[in-house]
């Protein structure tokens, strides 16, 4: 796995079904993200794997999310949203976050289809 967020053998992605509206495509992905995050609300370690700051856990430190959402135009006025997970072996410089497990993030990406 790469030290910092980058393409590596641990990366994963998924593609949502095409829609005829780019905002709807991104909105669908955003709603799935919101629903998934609320389903793991009690486990702070799983929630941290999606990035910092995190309310009621750590509101001072920052770490960008290892998830990237991209809307891609296709032929015939269709749009898809691609969600990439680009993990890093060094999640954060604070030792408290050195051993973050990305299983929740991988599960989210895997369930998108």
- The reported pLDDT for the residue numbered 69 is 96
In a domain, 82, yes or no: yes
- The reported pLDDT for the residue numbered 14 is 96
- Domain hosting 37: range is 12-110
In whole angstroms, give the CA distance from residue 4 to residue 24.
31
In a domain, 80, yes or no: yes
- Give the model confidence (pLDDT) of 18-42 as tens digits: 999 999 999 999 999 999 988 887 7
pTM of the model: 0.84
In whole angstroms, give the CA distance from residue 88 to residue 109.
16
| Distances in whole angstroms, Cα of residue 53 to Cα of each of 9, 15, 38, 59, 113 | 27, 27, 16, 5, 28
In a domain, 2, yes or no: no
Mean pLDDT, all residues of the chain = 88
- Quote the number of domains for the chain: 1
In a domain, 6, yes or no: no
In whole angstroms, give the CA distance from residue 96 to residue 38.
23
- Give the model confidence (pLDDT) of 74-90 as tens digits: 999 999 999 999 888 78
């Amino acid at each position: 796995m790469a030290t910092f967020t980058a393409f590596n053998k641990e990366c994963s992605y998924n593609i949502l079904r095409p829609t005829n509206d780019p905002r709807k495509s991104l909105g669908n992905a955003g709603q799935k993200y919101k629903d998934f995050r609320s389903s793991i609300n009690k486990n702070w370690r799983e929630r941290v794997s999606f990035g910092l700051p995190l309310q009621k856990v750590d509101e001072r430190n920052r770490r960008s999310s290892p998830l990237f959402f991209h809307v891609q135009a296709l032929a015939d006025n269709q749009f898809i949203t691609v969600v990439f997970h680009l993990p890093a072996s060094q999640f954060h410089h604070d030792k408290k976050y050195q051993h973050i497990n990305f299983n929740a993030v991988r599960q989210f990406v895997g369930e998108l289809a």
